[in-house]
Amino acid sequence: MQKSFFRKTIEIIIFTVFIFFLFAPLLSLGIWSVALRWYWPHTLPQKIGFDYWLQALGITKSLTLGAVNVVPAFLLSLGIAIIVVIITMAIAIPAGYALAKLKIPALLKGIILILFLLPRAFPQQPVFLNLMLMFNKIGLTGTVLGVIFVHIVVGLVFAVWITASTFSSIPPELEEAARSVGATRLKAFFKVTLPISTPGLIASAVFVFLTSMDEFTGTFFVGLPFVTTLPMTLYSASGSNIQFASVIAILLLIPSILFMIVIQKFLKAEHLGGMGG
Amino acid sequence: MANLKVNNLNKNFGKVKAVQEVSFEAPEGKVLSLLGPSGCGKTTTLRCIAGFENPDRGEIYLDDRKITTIPPEKRGIGMVFQNYALWPHMTVYGNLAFGLQIRKVPKNEIIKKIKKVLGMVQLEGYENRYPRQMSGGQQQRIAMARALVFEPGIMLLDEPLSNLDAQLREEMRFEFTELQKKLGITAVYVTHDQAEALVISDKIVILDQGKMVQFGTPKEIYSNPKNKFVAGFIAVTSFIDGRIDSFIEGKKKVIVKTDDGLVIHGFDNSFDIGQKVSVAMRMNAVKFIQDENKSDKSTANIFKGKIIQSSYLGNTIDYKIRMGKWEIRTNAEAKYDFKLGEEVAFHLPPEDIIVTREE
């Protein structure tokens, strides 16, 4: 009894601290996004309103607030993210399946996984700077295509990793059973393995989507100044206008929160386990 | 129904020789067991037959069709897996219908066939259950139904009962045998449980380290194990190693001498003089002699030993007897109530012991 009370207290303290660290910055963003006038030493803004929200979403066009309109950037980011998800998953599903289910020698498997991991193993700036120099030669810098390519490179790491572990968490007998009753390898994949892996694959796709929505460094080197995604807009706004920056930051948070809900619903721990296999 | 023939099967995994020169024939409509300890190559052999492994050498024939390199889906072999391998996202109906849908069986026919096969495994009306809503025993039956519903000529079973509790396992053994006899299907059954193999099989293949050690009926293997390994696997609990000293009774019997001077009479099994052999005894081989003077006329195979361990089991008592450097285990009636350390005299009737090759 004594012990459980003690434990409960500790749990509550940890939970409170956790909540504070998680929500305090979010709360601050929320307040900033509606602060019309907020001078030191006031704890709360003296004047609040949704002016910056309306301006950012393109509903009002006030010259005094500045001309930041995040809607085109949001749509661009969304479009890029959707294309990136489709292409990345089209590569990651067969690659993950091959890594998890086909008889590949352990050494070769390791090499392939490291190759996918390599772009993330080095500091990002030199990698993308180098990529920019390469893209310059073939005219991909400043194009949406170039940005999509960069996002795929970044997203593929997670996508292959998660799909491979999802597939390897499925007992091989399930596919073998399908083949024993007459299904070809392809049919066994589409009727048995794929439906069972759906939760893991959805999680993987959501992850790729979020990575693309948030991607900064690569887009900065390859995309600017012609391709301005949402994080680019956030970057330029954060220097001059903290209210716009807060609005964009909140917009960027929405997919993350949706992601959390999806993860909660679909992703089971066993899909993340069994990675090495 | 089909006849399966395996010829000189070889399969290596890297440097591990999983299966070496295994040959046998599974007679039409009969049950053949592959029996051996884990790692003996029984599952690999089964997977080669199913088509999940490609043998390095050797052929597999189903009737007169060579199936060695045919992909599994074209072999027409039903398979029951150790962990059942039911598809969790499909109902029982979906699990059973899959193979039939691939074969383009019309829907009303599928419904009829599923009803029939569920009746056979005593799970009528379970069509809409998901695997997770059923007990282990029920899942096992569905796995069997799935392997039977498309009416293959042969079915393979990979330790299908090993995940069930002892009582259910025994029940399922009889149910399997009954079902198999009724359908007349050829079955290849992998198990490490000798009791299971003896009950269900018409023929048993004993494997050890990838090699076939013995092939015969359960009776042949039980009463005449080919060597010490097989004997040890088929319920033999004690061994005394020695050499063939001489023949008696017109070469019908042999005299085995151990290097510590024991002389044991047993039946011949085409041994040579001087050959290394092992005298194998089951739990019931030892006959205690309470009064030495009243012992039967033959003086052969009467020994003395000391009780070094006893376990009371109610109506019987398990004893471990030390005799020189050998230890013999026996299961005696409760009337033989010996104390630890007590000297006992006992008889090993030649018909109750088995003289077998040491290797």
Return the residue matching tokens 């043998």: B55
- What's the rounded Cα separation, in Å, for the pair A29 and B51? 61
Triad B9, B12, B14: Cα angle to 5°? 170
Q: Are B237 and B329 in contact (CB under 8 A)?
A: yes
pLDDT tens figures, B178-187? 899 988 999 9
Three-state secondary structure readout of B142-172: HHHHHHHCCCCCEEEEECCCCCCCHHHHHHH
Closest approach of B339 to chain A, Cα-based (Å): 52
Among B73, B85, B87, whose Cβ lies nearest the Cβ of A182?
B73
Q: Are B46 and B207 in contact (CB under 8 A)?
A: no
Segment holding A124, helix H or strand E: helix A124-138
- What's the rounded Cα separation, in Å, for the pair B199 and B76? 27
Helix (H, G, I), strand (E, B) or coil at B343: strand
In order, the DSSP letters of A173-238 are HHHHHHHHTT--HHHHIIIIIHHHHHHHHHHHHHHHHHHHHH--HHHHHHTTTT---HHHHHHHHH
The set of residues, in sequence order, having a beta carbon less than 8 Å from that of A81 and lying 6+ positions away, is A151, A209, A212, A213
Return the residue matching tokens 């699990």: B95
Given an 8 Å threshold on Cβ–Cβ distance, is B87 in contact with A180? no
B115: pLDDT confidence band, cut at 50, 70 and 90?
very high
Instruction: Assess A105–B contact: CB distance below 8 Å, yes or no.
Output: no
Instruction: Assess B12–A contact: CB distance below 8 Å, yes or no.
Output: no
Instruction: Assess B103–A contact: CB distance below 8 Å, yes or no.
Output: yes
At B26, phi and psi to the nearest 5? -95, 110
Instruction: Kindly identify which residue of chain B lies nearest to residue A196, measuring between CA atoms.
Output: B89
Helix (H, G, I), strand (E, B) or coil at A253: helix
Of A169, A181, A190, A270, which to mutate for an interface test with B (greatest number of B Cβ within 10 Å)? A181
Given an 8 Å threshold on Cβ–Cβ distance, is B98 in contact with A173? no
Q: What does the buried/exposed string (b/e) look like for A205-241 if buried means 16 or more CB atoms within 10 Å of the residue's CB?
A: bbbbbbbbbbbebbbbbbbbeebbbbbbbbbbbeeeb
- What's the rounded Cα separation, in Å, for the pair B23 and B5? 8
pTM (2 d.p.): 0.77
Render each residue's pLDDT in chain A as its tens digit; 277 residues.
566 788 888 888 888 888 778 777 788 888 877 777 777 777 777 777 777 777 777 777 766 666 666 788 888 888 898 999 999 999 999 988 888 888 777 788 788 777 777 767 778 788 888 888 888 888 877 888 888 988 998 888 888 888 988 898 889 899 999 999 999 999 999 999 988 888 888 888 888 988 888 888 888 888 777 778 888 877 777 777 777 788 888 888 887 777 777 766 665 544 444 333 3
- Write the ipTM: 0.82
Q: Would the pLDDT of B142 be above 90?
A: yes
- What's the rounded Cα separation, in Å, for the pair B48 and B6? 10
Token digits for A17? Answer: 């601290």
Q: Are A218 and A225 in contact (CB under 8 A)?
A: no
